[in-house]
A = this chain, B = another copy of it.
Amino acid sequence: MTGSARYREAGVDIDAANRAVSLMKDAVRSTYTPGVLADVGSFGGLFALTQLPARPVLVASTDGVGTKVKLAAQLGRWESIGHDIVNHCVNDILVQNARPLFFLDYVATSRLMPEAVAAVVTGIAAACRAAGCALLGGETAEMPGVYVEGAFDLVGTVVGLVDQAELLPKTERMQAGDLLLGLPSSGPHTNGYSLIRRLVAERDLQEKLADGRTLADALLAPHRSYLAEVDRLQAAGVRIWGMAHITGGGFWENIPRVLPDHLGAQVDVDAWPVPVLFQELVAWAGLDVQEAYRVFNMGIGMVLIIPAAAAAQAMQAEPEARVIGRLVSRSPADPPVRLVGA
């Protein structure tokens, strides 16, 4: 984290900056798990590996939240974007069955905005606590001439752990008839925001949608983490053969990544109600079905592949989950994903 020296240098209100730094430090410390060795302000974060599984594998992922940061900056909703980046990263390693050990953040802006950075970090810390993941380090950068005035970028890196025997996907266990279990999204998560920003550029963000939420609230709903859901399903004994995090490229690009060559996914798009926000966005943009399920998650943020026999058990453990399709045999000429009912 940036110390007060940099703020002083930049002519920022030093008391406000010190409060912001202090807030950040408290937020960071609140995430510490027993593995954390170093305290805020030391060099690289230290994480002691104890109670390792038989064949420990680290799973790491770096990502940004894309141009959702522009909307967040415009509306001054800094904290929610912190949840976005953590949950996005946590889901990205969850699909390989890894549980997060620690997270690092990078926040860069055109000019130092201590309170905004502190709010972002506070959101990051809250999401890390919820995931049982230590916020081990971070960096704040002032980059005049690189970032558009008032704009910022937010990058996160998560490192998690899994026993090699538990790694997903297990494509060799998948078979025709296995079910696609969909877990609901909270909104567009962190995808499609360049299009969304164009669509809402002329709209009043306080406009109410048919579900009673404002456009602003609907668009900035934090990316949902599926850690607790997957934990509950596995604790209930539901075997999961693969998971697809529905991010950029939507259903078309993410589901095929976990499938073997001989199996395809048949998604029944009538199996869940498409949330109002997506109905509106698709209509405003004039997207066809193909495009809609590529740009947006359309209400499903994570797709799990489970044995057909596990359906009842899964629905009991996770009532929000829905069976949204199944695996079918596929010949080389067939597309890996087909939407039916659309």
A interface residues (Cβ-Cβ under 8 A, vs B): 3, 5-6, 37, 42-49, 52, 55-64, 66-67, 69-70, 92-93, 95-96, 98, 101-102, 104-106, 108, 136-139, 141-148, 151-153, 155, 157-160, 164, 167, 194, 197, 248-249, 253, 257
Other A-B contacts than A62-B139, A70-B146, 6 sampled, CB-CB below 8 A, are: A46-B96, A48-B55, A60-B102, A62-B104, A62-B138, A67-B145
Contact residue among B37, B43, B105, B253 (Cβ-Cβ distance under 8 Å from A62) = B105
The answer to whether A60 touches B43 (Cβ under 8 A) is no
- Across the interface, A43 reaches (CB within 8 A) one of B93, B136, B145, namely B93
> Which residues from chain B contact A257 at a C-beta distance below 8 Å?
42-43
* Contacting residues, chain B, for A157 (C-beta < 8 A): 60, 62, 104, 157
Task: Name which residue of chain B comes closest to A109, CB basis.
Answer: B146
A67 touches B143 (CB 8 A): yes
A96, B137: Cα distance in complex, Å: 14
Nearest-Cβ distance from residue A176 to partner chain B, whole angstroms: 23
13 A-B pairs with CB atoms under 8 Å apart are: A6-B248, A46-B59, A46-B96, A47-B57, A48-B58, A52-B52, A58-B102, A60-B104, A69-B143, A108-B155, A145-B151, A147-B153, A148-B148
Q: Which of B145, B148, B197, B253 contacts A5 (CB 8 A)?
A: B253
B148 touches A62 (CB 8 A): no
Nearest CB to that of A245 among chain B residues? B43
Q: Are A64 and B159 in contact (CB under 8 A)?
A: no
Most buried by B among A45, A62, A93, A138: A62
Closest to A58 in B: B47
A252 to chain B, nearest CB (A): 9
Contact yes or no, A145 B70, CB < 8 A: yes
B153 touches A153 (CB 8 A): yes
For residue A59, which residues in chain B have a CB less than 8 angstroms away from its CB?
Answer: 43-47
Closest to A70 in B: B145
Please, how many angstroms separate the alpha-carbon atoms of A181 and B28 in the complex? Answer: 34
Instruction: Say which residue of B47, B102, B194 sits within 8 Å of A144 (CB atoms).
Output: B194
List of B residues within 8 angstroms of A52 by Cβ = 49, 52
**Residues B96 and A43 in contact, CB atoms below 8 Å apart:** yes
Q: Please, which residues of chain B bring their CB within 8 A of the CB of A48?
A: 55-58, 164
* Contact A44 B98, beta carbon cutoff 8 Å: yes
| B47 pairs with A96, CB closer than 8 A | no
Expressed in whole angstroms, the minimum distance between the Cβ of A101 and any Cβ of chain B is 8
Question: Chain B residues near A143 (CB, 8 Å)?
Answer: 64, 66-67, 69, 153
**Smallest CB separation, A302 vs chain B (Å):** 13
Complex alpha-carbon distance, A253 and B257, angstroms: 47
A96 → B minimal CB distance (Å) = 5
Q: A5-B249, A146-B70, A147-B146 are in contact. Are A57 and B37 (CB under 8 A)?
A: yes
CB distance from A147 to the nearest CB of B (A): 6
A54 to chain B, nearest CB (A): 11
Residue of B nearest to A164 (CB): B48
Q: Is the CB of B46 within 8 A of A57?
A: yes
A61 touches B45 (CB 8 A): yes
